[in-house]
Amino acid sequence: MEELNPFKIAQEQLDSAAEIMKLDKRAHAILREPKRVVMVNFPVKMDNGDTTLFNGFRVLYNDARGPGKGGIRFHPAETVDTVKALSAWMTWKCSLANIPFGGAKGGVICDTKKMSEGELERLSRGYIQAIGRFIGPKVDVPAPDVYTTPQIMAWMMDEYNKMAGHQEPGVITGKPLEIGGSEGRFNSTAMGAMYILREAVKKRGIDLKSARIAVQGFGNAGMFAMDLVTRLFGSKVVAISDSTGGIYSEKGLDYQRLIAAKEKTGSVSGYEGGSKLTNEQLLESDVDVLIPAAIENQITGSNAGKIRAKIVLELANGPITPEADSILFEKGILDLPDFLVNSGGVIVSYFEWVQNNYGYYWPEKEVYDKLDKLVTQSFSDVFKTQDTYKAKGTKITPRDAAYIVAVDRVAKAMKSRGWY
Ligand code: GLU
């Protein structure tokens, strides 16, 4: 049976890169485990008068390159191992982007769809009270992720400030603009992915103007990617899905009408003028670019052989298992790894933190120009590394190459600090 535990997968990916790059054994041992795992149980008063005990986590994976950085997920299926995996991936993401942060991640087991706004606010504040002493602008800086929003970041910052007794906007990123958020942060994950896509198509001779694209997921990342790819490049998004199902139209789907369908029927599959398709069919559709933008383990050993896209742009965290990774590589599909593709979010989070520390704010164009420079540099670092190994006779995947760049930087930082 294929391993689907995300933390085991993260360790396996690291092991593969460590072997290729001949990583020092002591550095490898440190990098296989998180530095700190905090588990909390905290009570929240519910609207019906009951008190519910919620279970949450905050994992600091590695802080050799700077304070921990990474989002908070509110998800019913959250586990400590998912959070550990995501915190490892944040470590590689921040390192590959070459921003001065380590990696961290948080999560609370809850179903936000079944909670009122008041309950959500009390849950957010309760979680910060529980983990507050383990975060801070110079310690570990959270941000939004699956089912957490700028409003939730605002409540969390406010709660932290009450505990600290002074203003600390840089304790959390992804905040609303009026309390220290950055211009461009909301769309930044999708925007960063667009810069990567612009570079990636050059490697496969695909013209984005006539490209046909499928997007899995209609959350913050998938939704804006769908909008941006049509607006910036004129590509056609022919298929899109959310957790309940998807829709296909050869003519290309319209963003505004998708939003309207989602609002009216609760799902993008309620879109008029297309044919319904399942998430499985979406992944296997005959397109130029496939963008998995939902959750982990979507392309596995059992469906990777059926993927027909020429490029896979991993916008979600961990959408592809190691077994699927090798299958796509053998098939000659260009699979761009998650921590390269979706680094735009944390890069603009970094800009937000810098602006908070300075108390001086930049216009959107400046934010995006700086973002473009950083992600384009990461893209080139990855493919240069792949070429270097190829010249030595070792064929490695873009993910291995990205790991080698990222792990090498963290290992050097640990060495300088005298950790090994
Ligand atoms: N949650 C996003 C990610 O997985 C952003 C993290 C951040 O901004 O710290 O990259």
pLDDT band at residue 289 using 50, 70 and 90 as cut-offs: very high
- Regarding whether 145 and 219 lie in a shared domain, the answer is no
Whether pLDDT at 338 is above 90: yes
- % of the chain beyond a pLDDT of 70: 100
pLDDT at 335: 98
Residue 128: inside a domain, yes or no?
A: yes
> Which residue, of 175, 208, 241, is where some domain finishes?
175
Mean local confidence (pLDDT), 42-52: 98
| Calpha distance 65→385 (Å, rounded) | 21
Q: How far is CA 293 from CA 193, 328, 348, 416, in A?
A: 11, 18, 19, 37
pLDDT at 5: 95
pLDDT digits (tens, 9 = 90+) for 69-117: 999 999 999 999 999 999 999 999 999 999 999 999 999 999 999 999 9
Give the CATH number, domain containing residue 150.
3.40.50.10860
What is the reported pTM?
Answer: 0.97
- Regarding whether 215 and 142 lie in a shared domain, the answer is no
pLDDT band at residue 1 using 50, 70 and 90 as cut-offs: confident
| Calpha distance 160→166 (Å, rounded) | 9
Whole-number mean pLDDT of the chain?
97
Number of structural domains (the chain) is 2
Whether pLDDT at 165 is above 90: yes
- Regarding whether 279 and 158 lie in a shared domain, the answer is no
- List phi, psi (to 5°) of 315: -85, -25
With a 6 Å cutoff on the Cβ, whether 71 touches ligand 1 is yes
Distance 49 CA to ligand 1 centre (A): 34
What's the half-sphere exposure (Cβ side, CA atoms, 13 Å) at 409?
A: 24
pLDDT at 337: 97
DSSP string, 53-76: EEEEEEEEEE-SSSSEEEEEEE-T
Residue 249: inside a domain, yes or no?
A: yes
With a 6 Å cutoff on the Cβ, whether 235 touches ligand 1 is no
With a 6 Å cutoff on the Cβ, whether 220 touches ligand 1 is no
Mean local confidence (pLDDT), 352-372: 98
Atom from ligand 1 closest to the CA of residue 73: 1
Residue 230: inside a domain, yes or no?
A: yes
The answer to whether 184 and 364 have CB atoms below 8 angstroms apart is yes
Distance 251 CA to ligand 1 centre (A): 33
Range of 261's domain?
188-341
Residue with tokens 């934010």: 367
Mean local confidence (pLDDT), 377-405: 97
